[in-house]
Amino acid sequence: MAQAITKERRKRDSSATRAELIAIATDEFAEKGLAGARVEEIAARTATSKHMIYYHFGSKDGLYRAVLEQAYDEFRVAEGSFDYDDLTALDALSALVGATFDVHARCPQIVRIIMAENINCGQQIRSIDSFQQRELALDTLRRILDRGAADGTLRSGLDPLQIHLTVSALCFHYIANVHTFGHVFEFDAHSAEHMKARRKEVVATVISRCAATAGEEKR
């Protein structure tokens, strides 16, 4: 019994250590990129050692891939934010788009990491199995679009992949460019007021694209 308790405690400690390393490494990679981040500096910011980083992740690249995988897991939080099946199709789509924007706004460091990964032509993400990510993102959206097409509130024939890409583009673009937008157009792009306004605009844009017109509703 004591051995089982000790084993379980070690497992929890190991999971906690891994989570802490990923959290610290996320900030380091967001600030310095894969090439600039140093394992020694990441270890120094945690209650562990360089040896433990290699134990858990094998290499700096392995740690980076774990951070990247966690980043996409964070972006999929939006799909679990509501019971979308309990909402009307229009309300569900609005809620999903709003939740997606919120995740991007809450995680700017993840946006920077994904920007860097694209600059590097997606070299590391090729090693990550994205099946569950893809299925969760598209299945949630597909169910909403299908319900809306069936009840006449959303256009028929909408491609879940294309709508997902549009939502991602609108959310990602603002957060990725928030510093330059603020400077060029002389406004506090980080402020709650402007974040709220941009969120509203993104939701309205997607709904306008997807909502059925009066003529379509009658068919």
Domain definitions of the chain by residue range? 2-218
- Average pLDDT of each block of 10 consecutive residues along the chain (219 residues)? 51 75 93 92 87 92 92 82 91 96 94 92 83 79 96 97 96 96 95 97 98 66
pLDDT at 17: 85
- CATH number given to 2-218: 1.10.357.10
Nearest to 32, CA basis, from 124, 109, 85:
109
pLDDT at 47: 76
